[in-house]
Amino acid sequence: MKNLLFIFSIASCAFSVISCKSNQLDADTKSEYIANTVHSCEQGNVRITTDFPSGRMGECKLIALNEYEITLIPEGTPINSSPWYAFKVAAEERTSIKINMLVQGDKHRYPPKVSANGKTWKLQPYKMAGEELVVHIEASNESTYIAGQEIIDNQYYIDWAQDLSKKYDVTHTILGQSTQGKPIYKIESKQQDNNEWLVIFGRQHPPEVTGALALFPFTETLLSTTELSKKYKDRFNILIIPNINPDGIELGNWRFNANNIDLNRDWQNFSQVETQQIDQYLEQLVDQGQKIKFAIDFHSTRHDVFYTMPVDYGVEAPYFVIHWLKSLDELMPNFDVVMEPGNTPNNGVSKQYFADKFGIHAITYEMGDNTDRYKIIDIANKAANTLMESMLSSTNHNIE
Ligand SMILES: [Zn+2]
């Protein structure tokens, strides 16, 4: 009898989606979220939710018994092809469910990962049926997270930075506020007599998690207590802004900040508070007689690549980046260092901003979406070590 009632209640929902909770926003919690974010899709004893930081699924509909259709919907246009998703499945009684995921106006990019605790992840088997990505999940009373990439939310950055400040001589302070008033943190390693700075940016684009997975070990290698790191920190200060877009991360955005602006196209117009405050902070350093020497901005794309400024662009130490990345290439016979020099005036990317404003090299450090996670760490450790060697081997004020 119970089962019959259960089937009946599902059927009534399937035939009448309007009366089903799946397409409705919770009025009391929606202020934190944008209009196209659905919080839950539940029927019978199964519940699919996005009520956690970075959670997002777009539309969710029950289309048959224990079968759901989720449509991923971008936060704005132009659509960037990074269809993020992150949701949680739970059921009072063990239930096999099928989820068909579609992308509105685009194609899938991220193979699904699953996690029981939101911390350790593994790849989830899936099938493509045309444009639909199909997964089968055993829902139980222990939630299963399903996401496009590992979830690295705002709290993760805070925990990581607090851990760093316990281990190393760094400060962890607030640089400014995001559009929605979330703190934008900076981590600094500095010594009184140093006046040369390395600047590290991260997570302008929320789904670009492999960039974050590179930034963490890269930074830890720089800050570590090896002889090389000590020597490096004796000469160079380091400014790390690991999470520039906390609103976009909270919302599970595909690309933009809370105003639907691509922050990595805003380093010329400075129309957003996130870029404005960071620009002002760097300006203030320079006004105090400090010198920005080099900058790295961590991102992800479909393959591993380092976007650089051309040697003839007119920045100081024109061959510095080539020397550094060649030494990384020599150190890693199994990793092909791909450099793509490019000059893109007027498009507002950070590397161009560093070149134009401070007359220095900067790179966009891109890790592939599907690059092996251990390899990302290995590349980052070696890239940090070779960078320190390259910067230290230069004469004062003139890295070559
Ligand atoms: Zn990016």
Q: What is the pLDDT of residue 57?
A: 94
CA of 298 to the centre of ligand 1 (A): 8
Report the C-alpha gap between 105 and 73 in whole angstroms: 8
CA of 260 to the centre of ligand 1 (A): 15
Residue with the bigger pLDDT between 398 and 253: it is 253
CA of 161 to the centre of ligand 1 (A): 22
Which H helix or E strand runs over 340? strand 339-341
Burial of residue 125 (CB within 10 Å: 0-12, 13-18, 19+) is: exposed
Residue 176 counted as domain residue: yes
Residue 210 counted as domain residue: yes
CA of 364 to the centre of ligand 1 (A): 8
* Tokens linked to 38: 């659905």
Where does the pLDDT of residue 37 fall: very low under 50, low under 70, confident under 90, or very high at 90 and above? low
Report the C-alpha gap between 114 and 145 in whole angstroms: 5
Where does the pLDDT of residue 40 fall: very low under 50, low under 70, confident under 90, or very high at 90 and above? confident
342 and 195 inside one domain: yes
CA of 179 to the centre of ligand 1 (A): 19
48 and 15 inside one domain: yes
Query: What is the pLDDT averaged over residues 180-206?
Result: 97
CA of 71 to the centre of ligand 1 (A): 23
Query: What is the pLDDT averaged over residues 95-105?
Result: 96
Where does the pLDDT of residue 306 fall: very low under 50, low under 70, confident under 90, or very high at 90 and above? very high
Residue 37 counted as domain residue: yes
DSSP string covering 263-274, please?
A: GGG-TTT--SHH
96 and 133 inside one domain: yes
104 and 204 inside one domain: no
Query: What is the pLDDT averaged over residues 301-330?
Result: 96
Residue type at 14?
A: A
Q: What is the pLDDT of residue 272?
A: 98
Mean pLDDT, the chain, as a whole number?
Answer: 90
* Tokens linked to 350: 């950070």
SS3 117: coil
Contact 272, 259 (CB under 8 A): yes
253 and 373 inside one domain: yes
174 and 223 inside one domain: yes
96 and 158 inside one domain: no
Q: Residue 247's domain is classified under what CATH number?
A: 3.40.630.10
Where does the pLDDT of residue 43 fall: very low under 50, low under 70, confident under 90, or very high at 90 and above? confident
DSSP string covering 71-100, please?
A: EE--SSSSPPS----EEEEEESS-EEEEEE
Identify the residue whose tokens are 């930074």.
219
CA of 359 to the centre of ligand 1 (A): 22
Which of 11-20, 144-153, 213-222, 379-388 is the least confident region? 11-20
CA of 103 to the centre of ligand 1 (A): 20
Q: What is the pLDDT of residue 27?
A: 31
Angle at 331 between CA 325 and CA 337, to 5 degrees: 40
Q: What is the pLDDT of residue 395?
A: 67
Q: What is the pLDDT of residue 153?
A: 98
Query: What is the pLDDT averaged over residues 357-382?
Result: 98
CA of 205 to the centre of ligand 1 (A): 5
171 and 114 inside one domain: no
Residue 368 counted as domain residue: yes
125 and 234 inside one domain: no
Query: What is the pLDDT averaged over residues 79-101?
Result: 96
Per residue in 109-144, pLDDT tens? Answer: 999 999 999 999 999 999 999 999 999 999 999 999
Domain boundary among 95, 117, 147: 147
CA of 310 to the centre of ligand 1 (A): 20
CA of 208 to the centre of ligand 1 (A): 6
Domain boundary among 110, 127, 147: 147
Residue type at 92?
A: E
Residue type at 48?
A: I
SS3 219: helix
Residue 217 counted as domain residue: yes
Residue 398 counted as domain residue: no
Which residues lie below 8 Å from residue 1, measured CB to CB, with a gap of 6+? Answer: none
Residue 278 counted as domain residue: yes
Residue with the bigger pLDDT between 399 and 55: it is 55
Q: What is the pLDDT of residue 268?
A: 98
Q: Is the pLDDT of residue 324 over 70?
A: yes
Q: Is the pLDDT of residue 19 over 50?
A: no
127 and 167 inside one domain: no
* Tokens linked to 346: 């007027």
CA of 369 to the centre of ligand 1 (A): 11
131 and 201 inside one domain: no
CA 228 to chain centre: 29
Report the C-alpha gap between 60 and 301 in whole angstroms: 27
Domain of 102 in residue numbering reads as 2-147
CA of 300 to the centre of ligand 1 (A): 6
Domain boundary among 115, 130, 147: 147
Q: Report percent pLDDT > 90 for the chain.
A: 86
Number of domains, the chain: 2
Q: Residue 59's domain is classified under what CATH number?
A: 2.60.40.3120
Contact 202, 300 (CB under 8 A): no
First to last CA, the chain: 78
Query: What is the pLDDT averaged over residues 353-376?
Result: 98
**Going edge to edge, which strands form the sheet with 132-139?**
59-64, 67-72, 95-103, 132-139, 127-129
Residue 244 counted as domain residue: yes
DSSP string covering 135-155, please?
A: EEEEE-SS-EEEESS----HH
CA 279 to chain centre: 20
CA of 202 to the centre of ligand 1 (A): 9
CA of 194 to the centre of ligand 1 (A): 31
CA of 141 to the centre of ligand 1 (A): 36
115 and 92 inside one domain: yes
